Amino acid sequence: MGTRGVRLYVVSDIHASEKVWRKMLNAARTRMYRADAVVYAGDLTGKAMVPVVDAADSFEAEVAGRRRVARTEEELARLEQDIANLGFYALRTTAEEVERLRADPGALEERFRSEIRRRIGEWMALAADRMEGTGVPIYLIPGNDDPYEIDDVLAASPYCENVDGRVVEGRNGIGGEWGHNPLPWPEAEEWPGPACYCGLTGCIETYLSGPALERDYAQAAGDRLAGPDIVAHAARGDAAAEAALARYERRLARALASVVNVLDPDVIVLGGGLSSIDRLYARVPELWGDYVFSDVVDTPLRRAAHGETSGVRGAAWLW
């Protein structure tokens, strides 16, 4: 084919650590990992503020269990930078304000949110400053620990792109293509595999589509059955139908294991006609552990809420 894959630098859970954000930008900018794009996959924001209290001739703070005193502007800047590097928000304040905020959770929360937004705004500016002209895009996906209030700050970013809930088409418009990768870890009789309309052989689609299941059954059993009939025959104890479904499950387990190995998603949702086969949801997760590069695999395998029509509904969302 002559094409080269897209190399991603995937980062997550920085949780407001300024130092790590800067390191990430430097690594991306200098192509340290030869990455074509950065994917920041969740949890940009920090979890706490650290009061830096004005004590007349100095500022005082408790950082990671240690009392710190800053007597000059430089010391104050270093103290605040240390706090930011740890992923906290330095709050320059007075003892009276600290007391007031302690007594008013609403005001405290509001102040916290405003610090979060400010840091995100600074990071977006820093990213634009460091990355402009590099040709390495940064795609962000806020995580479960990030408040929705950062969305408009991200949307205003001149460089980073918030791709949460959006289609990422990729450079060649094929982001997320799975069916035309080869069936992974093929068994002897699965190699080189059936011809695919895309011009290659042994694509996942040539094994895991409805017509593929019917073809596989017909080749082994010598007669033709529609997909739902194969499932019904297997349920009644028909050996050929059972063997075809078992082959289907092993193939699906391998094909999904390769998705887990690359993306490690929180859930895998099956759509299409064959997603109505109940037994897949129990059998496939029993099998994929042999292929996933992790000791534990607890990824839920779920049926699409709208069954067979889920693909059409998803496509309709694009317009």
Which residues are at the interface with Zn ion (CB under 5 A)? 180, 196, 198, 203
State the CB neighbour count (10 A cutoff) for residue 125. Answer: 13
Query: To the nearest whole angstrom, how small is the minimum distance from the Cβ of residue 209 to Zn ion?
Result: 11
The answer to whether residues 38 and 29 touch, using CB atoms and an 8 Å cutoff, is no
Q: How far is the CB of 2 from Zn ion (least distance, A)?
A: 17
Nearest approach, Cβ of 184 to Zn ion (angstroms)?
Answer: 14
Alpha helices in the chain (DSSP H): 18-29, 73-85, 95-103, 105-131, 151-155, 205-208, 210-221, 227-235, 239-263, 280-287, 310-317
Nearest of 260, 255, 262, 269 to residue 298 by alpha carbon: 260
Closer CB to Zn ion, residue 148 or residue 197? 197
Nearer to Zn ion, 77 or 174 (CB): 174
Judged by beta carbon, residue 183 or residue 196, the one nearer Zn ion is 196
Give the whole-angstrom CA distance, residue 280 versus residue 137. 38
Start-to-end CA span in the chain (Å)? 32
* Nearest-approach distance from CB 253 to Zn ion, in angstroms: 20
Adjacent-strand bridge partners of 302: 269
- b (16+ CB within 10 A) / e for 282-318: ebbbebbeebbeeeebebebebbeeeeebeeeeeeee
Going by DSSP bridges, is the β-strand pair 49-54/59-63 parallel, antiparallel, or unpaired? Answer: antiparallel
Residue with tokens 């069954």: 307
Q: How far is the CB of 255 from Zn ion (least distance, A)?
A: 13
- Comparing CB distances to Zn ion, the nearer of 30 and 201 is 201
Residue whose CB is less far from Zn ion, 92 or 180 = 180
Report the residue number, 153 or 196, with the smaller CB distance to Zn ion.
Answer: 196
Question: Shortest distance, CB of residue 247 to Zn ion, whole angstroms?
Answer: 19
CB of 273 closer than 8 Å to CB of 309: no
68/180 with CB nearer Zn ion: 180
Least distance (Å) between residue 174 CB and Zn ion: 12
